[in-house]
Amino acid sequence: MSEPVIEVRHLSKSFGTHVVLRDVDFTVNAGDVTCIIGASGSGKSTLLRCINLLETPTNGKVLFHGSDITAKGSDPCAYRAKVGMVFQSFNLFNNMTVLDNCTAGLRYVLHQDKETAKKTALENLEKVGMAPYIHAKPRQLSGGQKQRVAIARALAMQPEVLLFDEPTSALDPQMVGEVLAVMRQLAKEGLTMIVVTHEMAFARDVSSHVVYMADGVICEEGTPADIFEHPQNAKTVEFLSRFRQA
Ligand SMILES: Nc1ncnc2c1ncn2[C@@H]1O[C@H](COP(=O)(O)OP(=O)(O)OP(=O)(O)O)[C@@H](O)[C@H]1O
Ligand SMILES: [Mg+2]
């Protein structure tokens, strides 16, 4: 029996009078790959940012192994070491080498010594095929390579959950595949992942659970077969038809 790792409970978020998320409620179990799909502006990034505490929910809460991480007194740094995030725009430190990008969190957040951090970073760079580039700076890399370094950096922290916000949206089409291949491999290894994506083939083939959002609410959720083959909600049908035509 898999157990809940992250529980989003009645989460709402407003910016001023603009309500961006309304009563969002879902559960992520250990080993789940949850894909969040939906139109631009539906609140997907805001939801992910609330889960990673980059935004403070207006109402509701996020539980990690049953503890409310949005409660006063919880430690966001310790939590973020367990729940990592990969961004659309990579967010690498541009003045640092690939290796230093991957050891920084290990050294300064997890307080590992230099050698241990280097070993962990190298193992993870190896895993994403970026070990030959340890001395390169991000500007010398392609978008796909940068994103693979960002994934290695997140993995080096040995997170329990990785959040991905449109990890392939900023990439040239020929580089999308290499990043999705790494993500497929992580899913196969059983890493718990929440992935905001417009890659419908990835959502259909790799996820265990799909959440479709529209206008700040979960419109429909279920298995990939439920959502892609038997969508129940008219909005889901309309949204997916746009991808079928594409
Ligand atoms: N910091 C902010 N201040 C004010 N409004 C915000 C802020 N962040 C997001 N929003 C608004 O919240 C709404 C949802 O944005 P969000 O980025 O979560 O959507 P999204 O589903 O990720 O879209 P996309 O697919 O384009 O990335 C948008 O109307 C956006 O303008
Ligand atoms: Mg977004």
Q: Which residue's alpha carbon is at the smallest distance from atom 5 of ligand 1?
A: 15
- Say what the pLDDT of residue 2 is: 78
Domains by residue range for the chain, with CATH: 2-92+157-240 (3.40.50.300)
Exposure class string for 63-84: b at 16+ Cβ within 10 A, else e: bbeeeebbeeeeeeeebbbebb
CA of 42 to the centre of ligand 1 (A): 7
Indicate which ligand has the atom closest to the C-alpha of 20: 1
Q: pTM of the full predicted structure?
A: 0.95
Q: Which residue's alpha carbon is at the smallest distance from atom 18 of ligand 1?
A: 43
Give residue ranges with CB within 6 A of ligand 1: 15, 18, 20, 38, 40-46
Which atom of ligand 1 is the closest one to the Cα of 216?
14
**What is the best residue among 11, 42, 46 to mutate for testing ligand 1's pocket, by most ligand atoms within 8 Å of CB?**
46
Q: Which residue's alpha carbon is at the smallest distance from atom 28 of ligand 1?
A: 41
CA of 167 to the centre of ligand 2 (A): 10
| Residue 126 token pair | 């190896």
Q: Which residue's alpha carbon is at the smallest distance from atom 17 of ligand 1?
A: 45
Exposure class string for 128-159: b at 16+ Cβ within 10 A, else e: bebbebbebbbeebebbbbbbbbbbbbbbbeb
Which atom of ligand 1 is the closest one to the Cα of 49?
18
User: Would you give per-residue pLDDT tens digits along the chain (246 residues)?
Assistant: 578 999 999 999 999 999 999 999 999 999 999 999 999 999 999 999 999 999 999 999 999 999 999 998 888 888 998 999 999 999 999 999 999 999 999 999 999 999 999 999 999 999 999 999 999 999 999 999 999 999 999 999 999 999 999 999 999 999 999 999 999 999 999 999 999 999 999 999 999 999 999 999 999 999 999 999 999 999 999 999 988 765
Sequence-ordered list of residues with C-beta below 8 angstroms from that of 42, at least 6 positions apart, any chain: 213, 214, 215, 216
Distance, C-alpha 28 to centroid of its chain: 12
Question: Smallest Cα–Cα separation from 165: which of 188, 140, 183?
Answer: 183
DSSP 8-state assignment for residue 227 = I
Q: Which residue's alpha carbon is at the smallest distance from atom 1 of ligand 1?
A: 15
67-68, strands of its sheet edge to edge: 18-29, 4-15, 59-64, 67-68
Indicate which ligand has the atom closest to the C-alpha of 38: 1
- Say what the pLDDT of residue 243 is: 82
* Cβ–Cβ < 8 Å for 213, 37: yes
Between β-strands 161-165 and 192-196, what pairing exists: parallel, antiparallel or unpaired?
parallel
DSSP 8-state assignment for residue 43 = S
* Cβ–Cβ < 8 Å for 208, 57: no
Question: Smallest Cα–Cα separation from 125: which of 109, 141, 149?
Answer: 149
- Say what the pLDDT of residue 73 is: 87
Q: Which residue's alpha carbon is at the smallest distance from atom 9 of ligand 1?
A: 46
Between CA 176 and CA 199 the distance in angstroms is 9
